[in-house]
């Protein structure tokens, strides 16, 4: 529990800290200019504009923090906060993460976990048929003779890889599942299925890019484990997938 909390908290802490730094810089500049020379018309316009931007940034961030526990309505407001999270706050955290030398994978994991919290609080009561489970091809055992290119239903459940366990969960909850060999196929599967919620399994980089690319769709991210190195016979926590499905339906 404590580990999960720490894995979530780093990203929002970096964003909050960067907003505090921006506010301190803004008010220091505005006040020092005002006290020393007074503000010219041009400076007044500039500082007013900066103040509005800062206010929007801070208030939107507060709304995003609230959305980890409360559903955001209406839909357009949710899209706005998602866009801001993926296109503004993500870069603010990245920038400050570089300053504090936070590992890229640590920041990506925290970002994904934070986004998962938002998705869980905003999407409930979904019909299982409208949930799409997207799996990476590297989950499959490399010596498996069955070509699982799109559907896990083909798996013969020999148990040599986690596809068998995933198939069990898919059968149990009757969700849609597909195997994507790359980002383009994943995008096509999302476009064709138009699910209400996506549960995507992949590595840090692919998930971070995928979640941000498909920002109009709610994507719950499940990181795979790579005991044999990247992109080869990876594994996944099936209980995490089941946990997410149970929360959504």
Is residue 214 a contact residue for ligand SF4 (CB under 6 A)?
A: no
Q: Which of 32, 159, 191, 231 binds ligand SF4 (CB under 6 A)?
A: 159
**Rg of the Cα atoms in the chain:** 21
Contact pick of 120, 161, 177, 219 for ligand SF4 (by CB under 6 A): 161
Which one of 33, 141, 150, 235 is in contact with ligand SF4 (CB under 6 A)? 141
> Residue from 110, 116, 140, 214 that binds ligand SF4 (CB under 6 A)?
140
Residue number, 106 or 141, with CB nearest to ligand SF4: 141
Of 21-29, 139-147, 186-194, 224-232, which part binds ligand SF4 (CB under 6 A)?
139-147
> Could you say whether residue 155 binds ligand SF4 (CB under 6 A)?
yes
Specify the residue, 64 or 166, whose C-beta has the smaller distance to ligand SF4.
Answer: 166
Of 3 and 143, the one with the shorter C-beta distance to ligand SF4 is 143
Which of these ranges, 17-25, 119-127, 143-151, 206-214, lies near ligand SF4 under the rule CB under 6 A? 143-151
Residue 158 in contact with ligand SF4, rule: CB under 6 A: yes
Kindly determine how many residues on this chain lie close enough to bind ligand SF4 according to the rule CB under 6 A: 14
- Cβ-based nearer residue to ligand SF4, 13 or 164: 164
The secondary structure of the chain as a DSSP string is -HHHHHHHHHHHHHHHHHHHHHHHHHHHHHHHHHHHT---HHHHHHHHHHHHHHHHHHHHHHHHHHTTTS---SHHHHHHHHHHIIIIIHHHHHHHHHHTT--HHHHHHHHHHHHHHHHHHH--S--GGGEEEEEEGGGS-TT--S--SS-GGG----SSSTHHHHHHHHHHHT-EEEEESSHHHHHHHHHHH--SEEEEEE-HHHHHHHHHHTTTS-EEEEE-B-TTSTTSS-B--HHHHHHHHHHH-
- Stretch binding ligand SF4 (CB under 6 A), from 61-69, 154-162, 171-179, 219-227: 154-162
Write the DSSP string, 146-166: S--SS-GGG----SSSTHHHH
Q: Does 179 bind ligand SF4 (CB under 6 A)?
A: no
Q: Which residues bind ligand SF4 (CB under 6 A)?
A: 140-141, 144, 146, 148, 155-161, 163-164
């Amino acid at each position: 529990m404590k580990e999960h909390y720490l894995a979530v908290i780093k990203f929002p802490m970096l964003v909050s800290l960067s907003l505090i730094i921006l506010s301190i810089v803004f008010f220091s500049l505005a006040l020092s200019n005002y006290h020393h020379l007074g503000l010219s018309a041009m400076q007044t316009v500039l500082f007013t504009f900066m103040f509005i931007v800062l206010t929007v940034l801070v208030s939107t961030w507060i709304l995003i923090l609230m959305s980890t526990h409360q559903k955001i309505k209406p839909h357009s407001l949710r899209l706005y906060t998602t866009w801001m999270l993926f296109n503004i706050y993500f870069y603010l955290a990245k920038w400050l993460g570089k300053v504090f030398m936070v590992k890229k994978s640590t920041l990506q994991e925290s970002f994904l976990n934070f986004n998962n919290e938002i998705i869980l609080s905003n999407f409930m009561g979904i019909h299982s048929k409208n949930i799409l489970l997207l799996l990476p091809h590297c989950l499959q055992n490399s010596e498996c003779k069955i070509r699982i290119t799109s559907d896990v239903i083909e798996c013969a459940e020999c148990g040599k890889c986690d596809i068998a366990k995933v198939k069990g969960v898919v059968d149990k909850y009757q969700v849609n599942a597909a195997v994507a060999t790359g980002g383009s196929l994943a995008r096509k599967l999302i476009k064709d299925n138009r699910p209400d919620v996506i549960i995507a399994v992949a590595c840090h980089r692919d998930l971070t890019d995928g979640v941000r690319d498909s920002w109009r769709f709610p994507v719950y991210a499940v990181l795979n484990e790579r005991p044999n190195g990247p992109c080869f016979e990876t594994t996944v926590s099936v209980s995490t997938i089941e946990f997410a499905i149970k929360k959504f339906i």
